[in-house]
Chain A
Amino acid sequence: MADENGGDGLFGSAEADYGWTQGSRAAEASSDVEILRRVWRNEKAAPEILPYEILLIQRIREQILLMEDTLSTFAGTSSDELTLSMYRMDIDRTTFLLRAYLRVRLQKIEQFAMHILRTEELWERLSQQEQDYVQRYIDILQKHMEQSVLSKLPFGYQSMLRQAMSSEEDDMIPEPALDTFVFCKSKGSIPSLQLDEKGDETVDLLSDDLYILRYRPIRRLLETDRIELV
């Protein structure tokens, strides 16, 4: 059993201190972990990098740290293995989710580093650490490409960004395919959503139904959290 004066009370405070109202996703009463789960899903399913959830990640990190702390003090005083292992699993699951989120972002960052660096809107979506990472990643990549391949190519074909000097623009920068299709669910009903540039094609989204739509037209809905990807 949990130790009377210490354990339970300490665990209780772990949550009380962290209101999540300051976040942009305060519309629904859900726990931070639930929000992180949704954010992770969206990040995984979206072709481009999404805004970094700075406050959410900060809160999750603090909760994990606090829980770790509490557990280590608790472990010394109590012999209730069962309770301890349940708390351990909870921490492990939350940590996994946090890592998975950060990793999927890194994966996209590596894939589209140059594009992100050159697009202000995307650049702003990165955390400070991610921005540093992009800079270093590109430096290293450039150096490596030059040393191993580019310097050995004929003049005119030595750019990392252009296929040849005659290219009119930088045409060798991988960009996310925004015209891909994604599976999504809308949170409320969204009447006559425009699906193509001309406005010929529209669809009425019903709450909680599952749709496959092109990513570009629903991009803004994802930003305002009216839709989620699955």
Chain B
Amino acid sequence: MAGQSNLQLSVFSAAEVEFLAEDEQIDIVPNVRMDTLHMICGDYGPFRPQIPVKVPLWLAIALKKRSKCRIQPPDWMTVEKLTQVLEDEREAPREFQPLPFHYVEISRLLFDHAREDISDPYLVRSLLEDIRDVRFHKVESGLENLSAKTHAVKLKNLAAMEVNIVRPFIVRALQCFYKHDSEELVKQSASEVESQAVSSDRVPRRTLRPR
């Protein structure tokens, strides 16, 4: 159906993950007066010039596009914090550092729409990219541990976009392990062979691949 990503494996498209991230709250400093907005998604405001106020990211970006506010990048999006995260990320090869679940999308949206509100944008961006690389490297080396004995995988602090990227591969891999490891199936195929010997015409048909 139009507008929906592949249901089986991808689950969410990148745009859908971004849509979800746009509901995260962020601080803005408006430069206009506007009364409280009583919206379906909640009440926001009142907006007074130079008084910081919390709004969802989509609202912040909409106001920013009309030059009605300045966006205050979140605390974790500073050179100092990100340097620390990168360092910790490198020092702990087996765990992910806590970052907001939507940090990839939030930082991306802010770079796209509010670049001038970010201090040291170049450094922040390169730190974020380094962090991303280190985290993906961990995911990749973690994949080597997947096996038929894997019933549960714990990925503490893995972020939404990262989940979305690794999901198709991990799910396929685990599905295959599970399928080939399942004793029932092994038995079933054994009995299939036996009955085949008896009457080749009336064997249970092979189960079709699920769509």
B partners with A? yes
Binding site for B on A (CB under 8 A): 1-2, 8, 11-12, 14-15, 31-34, 37, 41, 44-45, 60, 63-64, 67, 82-83, 85-87, 89-91, 93-94, 96, 100, 103-104, 106-108, 111, 163-164, 166-168, 171-172, 174-175, 177, 179-183, 195-196, 201, 203, 209-214, 230
Q: How far is the CA of A76 from the CA of B38 in the complex (A)?
A: 19
In the complex formed, the residue of B with least CB distance to A179 is B178
Q: In the complex where A106-B1, A166-B202 touch, is A230 in contact with B160 (Cβ < 8 A)?
A: yes
Q: Is the CB of B156 within 8 A of A210?
A: yes
**Do residues A181 and B175 form an inter-chain contact, with CB atoms below 8 A?**
yes
Total number of residue pairs linking A and B with CB closer than 8 Å:
148
* CB-nearest residue of chain B to A230: B163
- CB of A67 within 8 A of CB of B62, answer no
Contact between A86 and B170, CB atoms less than 8 A apart: no
B187 cross-chain contacts in A, Cβ below 8 A: none
User: How far is B202's CA from A167's CA once the two chains are assembled, in angstroms?
Assistant: 8
Q: How far is the CA of A111 from the CA of B178 in the complex (A)?
A: 23
Q: B residues 162-178 with Cβ under 8 Å of A?
A: 163, 167, 170-171, 174-175, 178
Q: Which residues from chain B sit less than 8 Å from chain A, CB to CB?
A: 1, 3-4, 7, 11-12, 16, 19-20, 22-23, 32-43, 58-59, 62-63, 66, 68, 151-158, 160, 163, 167, 170-171, 174-175, 178-179, 201-202, 204-205, 207-208, 210-211
Report the separation of the CA atoms of residues A196 and B36 in the bound assembly, to the nearest whole angstrom. 52
Instruction: From the candidates A64, A108, A177, A212, name the one contacting B210 in the complex (CB within 8 A).
Output: A177
Report whether A1 and B23 are in contact in the complex, using a CB–CB cutoff of 8 Å: no
Asked whether B155 lies within 8 Å of A82 as measured between CB atoms, the reply is no
- The answer to whether residues A67 and B40 also contact, given A167-B204, A195-B151 and a CB cut-off of 8 A, is yes
Residues of A with C-beta under 8 A to B62:
85-86, 89
A-B contacts, 9 listed (Cβ < 8 Å)? A8-B36, A8-B38, A11-B37, A100-B3, A104-B7, A106-B1, A166-B202, A171-B208, A179-B175
Chain A residues with Cβ under 8 A from B158's Cβ?
A: 210
